[in-house]
Amino acid sequence: MSVIWNPPLDPQASAWRDKAADLTARAFAPAAAAIDRDQRYPVEHLEPLRESGISGLFIPAEYGGAGASLTSLVAVVETVAQGCASTAAILAALSLGAFPVILGGSAEQKMVLLGGLARDGHAVNFALSERGAGSDAAALLTTAVPEGEGWRIRGEKCWLGNGGHSRHFIVFARTGEPGARNNISAFVVDRDASGVVVDHYEDKMGIRGTTTTNLKLDTWVGAESVVGTLGEGLKLALATLSIGRVVVAAQANGIALCSYAEARDFAVQRQTFGRSIIDHQGVGFKLADAATALSSSRMMTYEAARAYDAGQDIGTLGAMAKLLASETSHSVVDDAMQILAGRGYVKPSAVERCYRDQRITEIYEGTSEIQRVVLARAIKKSAGAAAQR
Alpha helices in 270-314 (DSSP H): 281-309
Examine the domain organization and report whether 173 and 131 are in the same domain: yes
Does residue 157 lie within any of the structural domains?
yes
Q: Give, for 102, the enclosing helix (H) or strand (E).
A: helix 85-104
For residue 192, the one-letter residue type is D
The CATH number that applies at residue 374 is: 1.20.140.10
pLDDT (tens, 9 = 90+) of the chain, 389 residues, equals 589 999 999 999 999 999 999 999 999 999 999 999 999 999 999 999 999 999 999 999 999 999 999 999 999 999 999 999 999 999 999 999 999 999 999 999 999 999 999 998 899 999 999 999 888 888 999 999 999 999 999 999 999 999 999 999 999 999 988 777 789 999 999 999 999 999 989 999 999 999 999 999 999 999 999 999 999 999 999 999 999 999 999 999 999 999 999 999 999 999 999 999 999 999 999 999 999 999 999 999 999 999 999 999 999 999 999 999 999 999 999 999 999 999 999 999 999 999 999 999 999 999 999 999 999 999 999 998 777 77
Residue at which a domain ends, from 231, 253, 270:
231
Does residue 221 lie within any of the structural domains?
yes
Examine the domain organization and report whether 243 and 130 are in the same domain: no
The SS3 assignment for 320 reads: helix
Q: Are residues 73 and 95 in contact, defined by beta-carbon separation less than 8 angstroms?
A: yes
Q: Are residues 351 and 337 in contact, defined by beta-carbon separation less than 8 angstroms?
A: yes
Q: What is the pLDDT of residue 20?
A: 98
Examine the domain organization and report whether 286 and 179 are in the same domain: no
Examine the domain organization and report whether 260 and 335 are in the same domain: yes
CA–CA separation, 356 and 379 (whole Å): 33
Q: What are the E-state strand segments in 77-164? A: 123-127, 143-147, 150-161
Examine the domain organization and report whether 292 and 243 are in the same domain: yes
Q: What is the pLDDT of residue 1?
A: 59
Nearest residue to 89 (alpha-carbon basis) of 39, 145, 162, 144: 162
Q: What is the pLDDT of residue 384?
A: 84
Q: What are the E-state strand segments in the chain? A: 123-127, 143-147, 150-161, 166-174, 184-190, 196-199, 212-222, 226-227, 271-272, 275-276
Q: Are residues 235 and 355 in contact, defined by beta-carbon separation less than 8 angstroms?
A: no
The SS3 assignment for 50 reads: helix
Examine the domain organization and report whether 61 and 170 are in the same domain: no
The CATH number that applies at residue 62 is: 1.10.540.10
Check if 365 is active-site.
Answer: yes
Range of the domain at 174: 125-231
CA–CA separation, 333 and 73 (whole Å): 23
CA–CA separation, 217 and 27 (whole Å): 37
The SS3 assignment for 220 reads: strand
The CATH number that applies at residue 227 is: 2.40.110.10
CA–CA separation, 334 and 260 (whole Å): 10
Long-range contacts of 367-374 (CB under 8 A, 24+ apart): 367/135, 368/323, 368/326, 368/327, 369/135, 370/135, 371/245, 371/319, 371/320, 371/322, 371/323, 372/323, 374/315, 374/316, 374/319
Examine the domain organization and report whether 167 and 253 are in the same domain: no
Q: Are residues 77 and 251 in contact, defined by beta-carbon separation less than 8 angstroms?
A: yes
Does residue 4 lie within any of the structural domains?
no
Q: Are residues 351 and 259 in contact, defined by beta-carbon separation less than 8 angstroms?
A: yes
Examine the domain organization and report whether 27 and 132 are in the same domain: no
Phi, psi of 226 (to 5 degrees): -65, 130
Residue 67: CB partners within 8 Å, gap ≥ 6?
59, 60, 61
Residue at which a domain ends, from 96, 122, 148:
122
CA–CA separation, 186 and 188 (whole Å): 7
What is the count of structural domains for the chain?
3
Examine the domain organization and report whether 133 and 224 are in the same domain: yes
CA–CA separation, 100 and 187 (whole Å): 10
Examine the domain organization and report whether 176 and 65 are in the same domain: no
Does residue 389 lie within any of the structural domains?
no
Examine the domain organization and report whether 89 and 208 are in the same domain: no
Residue 281: CB partners within 8 Å, gap ≥ 6?
none
Query: Which is it for strands 184-190 and 123-127: parallel, antiparallel or unpaired?
Result: unpaired
Query: Which is it for strands 123-127 and 166-174: parallel, antiparallel or unpaired?
Result: parallel
Choosing from 147, 232, 365, 369, the catalytic residue is 365
Count the Cβ atoms, other than its own, within 10 Å of residue 349.
19
Count the Cβ atoms, other than its own, within 10 Å of residue 284.
15
Residue at which a domain ends, from 92, 122, 152:
122
